[in-house]
Amino acid sequence: MVLNPWTLEPCTRAHTKNCLVEICLMHPLDVVKTRFQIQRGKTDPTNYRSLGDCFRTISRTEGLFGFYKGILPPILAETPKRAVKTFAVAGLGSGLTEAVVVNPFEVVKVSLQANRNVFTEQPSTFSQARQIIKTNGLGFQGLNRGLTATLGRHGVFNMVYFGFYFNVKNIIPVNKDPTLEFLRKFGIGLVSGTIASIINIPFDVAKSRIQGPQPIPGETKYRTCFKTMATVYKEEGFLALYKGLVPKIMRLGPGGAVMLLVYEYAYAWLQENW
């Protein structure tokens, strides 16, 4: 089952609360664990003889709050960390699933986009798809060429995009003014799409190289995702892995903001009217 980041936010709020409760209830055991771990051996006069002895000694000499020493750091770190992980893992899962579905369409799209003939002279989408299948089949050399790079591109993008948006949105206070609230959400969505694009573009470059025309017709130079990245880096330099970044950000920065805004307002409308 793939977690859906769109429907995950209410669940994650509950999960965050559960994490807080779990930390508060179980922290005494963490204190006891640490005390045993820092004992220096049998000659240490502060050694605890047993688990029960440790509990009794802490209770007698340090009081009830002795069991809650150091609780603030895990509350500050562990609770939001688990929420971040939840959204990130959900985004990764949705991205990987999406990649498997869209990869054949991406192969056709890239091959059409690489065609520099006049638009009226290039084959139709269906003709191009049939030609790819006829020449190379449905496998990893044909309609599913570049699947690993597509998995990386979509998985990394969604992981960063959803993980960043939902967690930052919960940190920045909600604004009562509708216009300012709109701008708050738009800004977070814009930054989410931009950061995700910057992080995942090496996978995008690798995907385009694998799925696009090869430098020498009839010879496959770009085969696998990470090998393609290494080849591009070796032959063209580090910045070559970021080719096309500006148009990508121009598309997915605002595009990411719009998509999340549509979700936010559609979800709010459905909650009120259904």
- 272, part of any domain: no
Handedness of CA 53, 58, 63, 66 (dihedral sign): negative
Q: Checking phi first, is residue 126 left (phi over 0); if not, alpha (psi -120 to 50) or beta? A: alpha
As a whole number, the mean pLDDT across the chain is: 82
Alpha carbon distance 200, 186 (integer Å): 21
180 lies in the same domain as 105: yes
Please return the burial class of 174, using the count of CB atoms within 10 Å of its CB with bins 0-12, 13-18 and 19+. Answer: exposed
CATH of the domain at 136: 1.50.40.10
232 compared with 16, residue with greater pLDDT: 232
Give 62-106 pLDDT, tens digit per residue: 888 888 887 876 666 554 555 555 777 777 888 888 889 888 888
Q: Which domain holds residue 9?
A: 1-69
CB atoms near residue 120 (< 10 Å): 5
| pLDDT surpasses 70 at 199 | yes
229 lies in the same domain as 115: yes
Q: How many domains does the chain have?
A: 2
Alpha carbon distance 183, 58 (integer Å): 52
- 143, part of any domain: yes
Domain boundary among 48, 69, 90: 69
97 lies in the same domain as 203: yes
Give 98-145 pLDDT, tens digit per residue: 889 888 888 888 888 877 776 677 788 888 889 889 988 988 888 899
